Structure 1
């Protein structure tokens, strides 16, 4: 086979190969940051792009979980899927925006160690609405994500809580790279200064790379969307917040792909 033909064949294989699965965990280091609002809006924005999105809900059955945002009730949990008690497509609930939602359920250490993203096909983007424990640590599932996005508000208490949380995550899990997303921003230049200062501090004192995932402007229509049990991306697509969420969802496709940090011995297929 000539070099030209071989190069063409290799290019065709890459073109037809399935896109790698991207797993992103999203969390707030304190209550009130709006992490669940962010993750549901990003899921809606990605689904509007035609992406196959699965949101893993670690807060269910809490009153402020992603399942409650959309008023959906999945038939099973991720724990059921990993234990082979149910298939993923039988367990998820599909929100009106097109994104699928699956509660994590009671995920023991043994089941977490058996997690294999291939069980969640055909999803290509998995978002984890991550819940922290009382010590501010991530679940075993969220630790496997290729990306971790921390949501914070642009106020002193939120900044302090987030920086303290970053130190905890760094020492507990060895995180060297995180992304920051500012939520409820009234002053965009001020928000940019906040993220620059945090990135400089994290790099200088912790050796952690803090990259900016984006910012979402404060928008009164956010509360109106919650009243309708929808995201602002769905309910008010022309709003400034919806535009910000769509822009971040679009930018996510340009992030360098980082594989999930999987356990060494997932259950066989």
Structure 2
């Protein structure tokens, strides 16, 4: 049986070794297909930019990125926390140029046992150190909590589509997180929209969030609707690899650039 026993010296050594990894937690108000395409292509774009990228599936149900990529054969982070598997068994390399890991192999839930919760937090912290950038596919539970409490200190990005239902859902997500964590900034990524349409969505949401929640929204840009995205997904590839000149590919490279610049700014 694999051991994941942290003593104080080892835990301190691991926490202080190297720069602090960047963790971006995505909460999506878009369709599962749109969310999956965004995560895959963001991961691939960051990989092309020279970053080691890990996508963590921390969803509560069965529609997370690990399931969508059929990357469900490896161990889960919860198994590591229970001393059932090693951390190396969790990480799966994908042909698109990034790695994938999963919180659980089934519906996720908050760990109620305090010792198990601490070990899960420790496992997450060490897993995050395995990559330059961790991108988390997350959901909120019924009490508006994340499955991993450490995600509350990450950079939270809300994905929204250019339609009324998605916009309403995105605002509800921001309101729920704000109600649980208190006032904090959020980033907004608009998908399936032109730059002009995305700017309108962002400005409207930013105005409402500021007026009614006293919340500041930052723009992460946009990704247009592009048939090349579906074609690339059917090929099992990222659009930035299969169709590098497509409009969506250009947008994802810009998005990756924003993430990298944010990483550099924080490191400095």
| Alpha-carbon separation, structure 2, partners of 1:30 and 1:112 | 30
User: What is the alpha-carbon distance in structure 1 between the residues aligned to residue 98 and residue 235 of structure 2?
Assistant: 17
Which residue is equivalent to 1:209?
216
Residue 185 of structure 2 is aligned with which of 155, 160, 177?
Answer: 177
CA displacement at 1:88 relative to structure 2: 2.3
Task: State the Cα RMSD in Å.
Answer: 2.5
2:266 corresponding residue in structure 1: 257
226 and 135 in structure 1: CA distance in 2 versus 1, 3 angstrom threshold: farther
Task: Give the direction of change, closer, same or farther, for the CA distance of 1:249–1:236 in structure 2 (3 Å limit).
Answer: same
- Paired with 1:75 and 1:47, the residues of 2 have a C-alpha distance of 21
Kept after mapping to 2: 8 A contact 1:60/1:103: no
Larger Rg: 1
1:155-206 deviation line (CA, Å, top 9, x unaligned): 1221122112211211122241100000111x32121022012112211221
Q: 1:97 is matched with which residue?
A: 96
Counterpart for residue 40 of structure 1:
40
Shift of 1:254: 2.0
CA distance in 2, matches of 1:145, 1:42: 21
Deviation, structure 1 residue 208: 0.8
The superposition leaves residues 76-118 of structure 1 with CA deviations (integer Å, 9 ceiling, x where unpaired) of 1111233343332232110012311111015624434431344
Counterpart contact for 1:28–1:34, Cα < 8 Å: no
Alignment of 1:114-133 (within 5 A): 114=119, 115-116=121-122, 117-120=124-127, 121-133=129-141
Once the two structures are superposed, the pairs formed by residues 19-98 of structure 1 within 5 Å of their partners are 19-29=19-29, 31-32=31-32, 34-59=34-59, 62=62, 64-98=63-97
Q: Report whether the alignment pairs 1:220 with 2:227.
A: yes
Q: Distance in 2 between matches of 1:171 and 1:19?
A: 31
Given that 1:33 and 1:153 are in contact with CA atoms closer than 8 Å, whether structure 2 keeps it comes out as no
| Paired position in structure 1 for 2:253 | 246
State the TM-score, normalized to the length of structure 2. Answer: 0.79
Give matches, 1:1-16, under 5 Å: none
Specify whether residues 244 and 124 from structure 1 end up closer, same or farther in structure 2 by C-alpha distance, changes over 3 A only.
Answer: same
Q: TM-score normalized by structure 1?
A: 0.79
Task: Look up the match of 1:198.
Answer: 205
Instruction: Specify whether residues 60 and 66 from structure 1 end up closer, same or farther in structure 2 by C-alpha distance, changes over 3 A only.
Output: farther
Aligned residues: 240
Structure with the larger helix share: 2
Determine the C-alpha separation between the residues in 2 that align with 1:134 and 1:66.
21
Look up the match of 2:3: none
Q: Could you say what secondary structure the match of 2:266 adopts?
A: coil
2:159 is matched with which residue?
A: 151
How far has the Cα of 1:38 moved from its partner? 1.6
